[in-house]
Amino acid sequence: MFEDEFKKDSDVRRGKYTTVSIPITLYNRIKELIKDTGFTSVSQFVTYILREVIASMEREKLESSMISEEEKKRIIEKLRKLGYI
């Protein structure tokens, strides 16, 4: 069973889209949930949520500072000279 309201077959044949299967119960709940929200299909909603979640998880994984102490000192010196701090 395919959700046919999202993208034309031609797009899929071009290899632009791929499918992920989710339980029909979940599908129906989402379909109900997105009524009158601006999302026009379950696929569109899934895309939105995945991007939001993945981006925030990728960010969390990152270490807070990627700048070495030495580099930081050099930059702070420059900023001081320019009058920024």
Partner 1 sequence: MSKEKVAVYISKELYERVKKFIETQGGFSTIEEFVEFVLNEVISEEPTSYTMSKEDEEKVKERLRALGYI
Partner 2 sequence: MVSKPHGNKLINRVVVGRRRDHLLEEAKELPRIEISETLAADTINIAHGVYSPLEGFMTQEDYIHVLHDMRLSNDIPWTIPIILDVNPEDIVDIKEGDDITLTHNNKPIAIMKIEEIYGWDKNEYCKQVFKATDPTHPGVTKTMGRKELLIGGPIDLLNDIYEPFEKYRLWPIETRVLFEAKRWRTIAGFQTRNVPHLGHEYVQKAALTFVDGLFINPLVGWKKRGDFKDEVIARAYEVLIQHYFPKDSIVFSVLRMEMRYAGPREAVFHAIVRKNFGCTHFIVGRDHAGVGNFYKPYEAWEIFKEFPDLGITPLFIRESFYCKKCGGFVNEKICPHSDENRIRISGTKLRRFILRKEKPPEYMVRPEVFEVILSFDNPFIE
Site for partner 2 in 49-68 (CB under 8 A): 49, 51-52, 54-56, 58-59, 62, 64, 66-67
Which residues have C-beta within 8 Å of that of residue 33, sequence separation ≥ 6? 45
The item of partner 1, partner 2, none sharing an interface with residue 29, based on CB under 5 to 8 Å by kind, is: partner 1
Q: Supply the angle between the helices 42-61 and 24-33 in degrees, to the nearest 10.
A: 100
- What is the nearest approach in angstroms of partner 2 to the Cβ of residue 37? 12
Closest CA to 3 of 33, 37, 31, 35: 31
Binding residues for partner 1, rule: CB under 8 A, are 1-3, 6-7, 12, 15-27, 29-30, 33, 42-43, 46-47, 49-51, 53-54, 57-58, 61
